[in-house]
């Protein structure tokens, strides 16, 4: 395993652990037990959970920025296999945009001030947009990431859409839908980058 491969795995493990532990701690510390009926962003203003939740968002943003470096090195190895050059900036760029979204959520908590709330919403929406860019960049680098990965990606999207419909219908708390989507997105990102690292290793040794 290369040095970049090790750093990739360490950062992914730290990212998943930070997200899982931070969100669980925030949920446990929330002073308002009804926050799950609304949006997870409510935790930025919750007197019990705000500090831990915002620190978690900052931690996730920092780790995503750090991930951009090994991902850039990974793409440079894959480009030797005729990958589209746009992915050289699209994948790490999407990680940085997602990082900015997480940091923005932490820096601009839900507030009565309209401009702060607008900034918070903009930052929150940047995260799923960055996720779509990651999906596009991955396909540009390696059009075929394997049938199992493709089926799992479609299943994750279907689950998130079903939860979203359930949240709109009132059958599922909106925050529950968001937390499930975050968990699936984190697992998908880890699997995606590890798949790319495996493909890069195979291409290098071929």
Q: Provide the domain count of the chain.
A: 1
Say how far apart CA 180 and CA 170 lie, in whole Å: 16
Say how far apart CA 4 and CA 75 lie, in whole Å: 11
Which tokens in the block code for residue 67? 């991930």
pTM of the model: 0.79
Residues 36-54 pLDDT 10s: 777 787 888 888 888 998 9
Residue 201 has a pLDDT of 65
Residue 24 has a pLDDT of 86
- State how far the alpha carbon of 80 is from the alpha carbons of 1, 8, 74, 77, in Å: 19, 20, 11, 6
* pLDDT < 70 regions, the chain: 1-5, 78-88, 112, 136-147, 199-206
Range of the domain at 68: 3-205
Residues 174-199 pLDDT 10s: 777 778 877 878 887 887 777 777 76
195, HSE (Cβ side, Cα atoms, 13 Å): 21
Q: How many residues does the chain have?
A: 206
HEC readout, 138-171: HHHHCCCCCHHHHHHHHHHHHHHHHHHHHHHHCC
Say how far apart CA 29 and CA 27 lie, in whole Å: 6
DSSP output for 81-111: GT--TTHHHHHHHHHHHHHHHHHHHHHS---
Contact between residue 71 and residue 9 where contact means Cβ atoms under 8 Å apart: no
Contact between residue 152 and residue 191 where contact means Cβ atoms under 8 Å apart: yes
Say how far apart CA 22 and CA 49 lie, in whole Å: 10
Which tokens in the block code for residue 188? 């998908």
- State how far the alpha carbon of 64 is from the alpha carbons of 46, 60, 150, 169, in Å: 25, 6, 23, 33
Identify the DSSP state of 112. S
Residue 82 has a pLDDT of 47
Residue 56 has a pLDDT of 92
Cα distance from N-terminal residue to C-terminal residue, the chain: 15
């Amino acid at each position: 395993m290369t040095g970049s491969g090790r750093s990739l795995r360490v950062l992914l493990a730290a990212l998943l652990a930070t997200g899982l532990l931070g969100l669980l701690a925030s949920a446990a510390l929330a002073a308002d037990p009804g926050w799950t009926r609304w949006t997870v962003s409510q935790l930025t203003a919750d007197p019990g959970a705000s500090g831990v939740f915002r620190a978690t968002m900052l931690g996730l943003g920092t780790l995503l920025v750090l991930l951009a470096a090994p991902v850039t090195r990974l793409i440079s190895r894959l480009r030797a296999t005729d990958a589209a050059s746009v992915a050289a900036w699209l994948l790490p760029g999407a990680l940085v945009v997602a990082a900015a979204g997480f940091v923005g959520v932490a820096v601009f908590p839900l507030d009565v001030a309209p401009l702060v709330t607008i900034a918070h919403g903009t930052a929150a929406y940047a995260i799923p947009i960055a996720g779509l860019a990651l999906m596009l960049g991955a396909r540009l680098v390696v059009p075929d990431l394997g049938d199992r990965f493709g089926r799992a990606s479609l299943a994750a999207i279907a689950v998130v859409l079903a939860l979203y419909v359930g949240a709109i219908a009132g059958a599922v708390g909106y925050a529950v839908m968001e937390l499930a989507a975050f968990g699936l997105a984190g697992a998908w990102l880890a699997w995606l980058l590890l798949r790319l690292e495996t493909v890069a290793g195979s291409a290098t040794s071929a």
